[in-house]
Amino acid sequence: MTLTFSLETTNVELINNLFIYFLVVAAIIFFLVVFYIFYYLYKYNSEKRPDLPEQREGSVKVEIFLTSLATTITAVFVYLTISTMGKVQNIPENPEPFLQITGHQWWWEAKYPNSGVTTANQIHIPVGKKVLLQLNSADVIHSWWVPELGRKMDMIPGNTNYMWLYADKEGEYLGTCSEFCGQAHARMRIRVTAQNPKDFEAWQTQQLKPVATSENSNFIEGKRLFEQKTCTNCHAINGTPYQANIGPNLTHFASRKRFLADMKINNKENLKEWLEDPQKVKSGAHMPNFIFSKKELNALVTYIHNLK
């Protein structure tokens, strides 16, 4: 990371600053309202002033003064809103996205058009670089929100939206789908891994490797089952004829740290549990229950877990 980047205000910081200005003004207004209410309640209580008060009808001067004061404050915030909006959401005319995310019920498909990487749920970005994100939906409306990396943007079927994503520190950033998208909406969380550019390149290279093979008999049996049991109707494996895009692409599944949209840690036990009864793990998920035998299950888990 170079020095120039840390001097620049990020989008998230811009929004946070605006929110702080708002909070300060709102707090002052709120304090004044509460103060006057309680002060009047105390001072003009009927126990203290049992006499009939003067029947005054109000004052035009006060009204005009306060209205113009409110209008002035509003004008300031209108200015701040419009200028911040222009800075945060300045999308070039012919956007060339670095990353394309498509929301599915209930997982995230991620594509990197420059390198050709396709993955699901395990999303990586380089640190210190503003990346342009393209958002689409394959079914219902979803909404992409990783609070520390940028704004929130809806994914609307039939529309394409763009936004900037920026991470200034390495690490994992949590987010979530924030438009109700059906039964497993709560289970549609996001984890973005921000890496230094070198690590990011290494990750991309690894993701572009051809699909793993092995001479292990369990692996071969698992591969056969994967094709025979119609897994391939929904899941794609690069370098094979199976290119369906209904469920996540599994070519490098084993390289992912978590699966089911950040719900479970990716290990053999969790995978087995998932394949045994998807509804029990993630209620509502579109994955059918195949009712595998123990042996089949082992073979499939071995196969999928070797797809590094």
Amino acid at 153: M
For other proteins, give the closer residue by CB, 1 or 64.
64
For other proteins, give the closer residue by CB, 45 or 213.
45
Minimum distance of other proteins from residue 247's CB (angstroms)? 17
Calpha distance 110→98 (Å, rounded)? 10
For other proteins, give the closer residue by CB, 56 or 294.
56
Helices 268-276/294-305 angle, 10° precision: 130
User: What is the CA angle 146-103-277, rounded to 5?
Assistant: 105
Query: Do 253 and 235 meet the contact criterion of CB atoms below 8 Å apart?
Result: no
Q: What φ, ψ does residue 96 adopt, rounded to 5°?
A: -115, 95
Residue with tokens 């529309």: 159
Query: Do 266 and 258 meet the contact criterion of CB atoms below 8 Å apart?
Result: yes
Calpha distance 232→241 (Å, rounded)? 9
Minimum distance of other proteins from residue 195's CB (angstroms)? 22
Cα of 37 vs its chain's centroid, Å: 42
For other proteins, give the closer residue by CB, 128 or 284.
284
Calpha distance 122→165 (Å, rounded)? 16
End-to-end CA, the chain: 30
Helices 217-228/294-305 angle, 10° precision: 100
Minimum distance of other proteins from residue 162's CB (angstroms)? 8
User: What is the CA angle 233-248-154, rounded to 5?
Assistant: 120
Minimum distance of other proteins from residue 203's CB (angstroms)? 25
Minimum distance of other proteins from residue 77's CB (angstroms)? 6
3-state secondary structure of 228: helix
Minimum distance of other proteins from residue 172's CB (angstroms)? 13
Minimum distance of other proteins from residue 112's CB (angstroms)? 22
Minimum distance of other proteins from residue 235's CB (angstroms)? 21
For other proteins, give the closer residue by CB, 35 or 202.
35
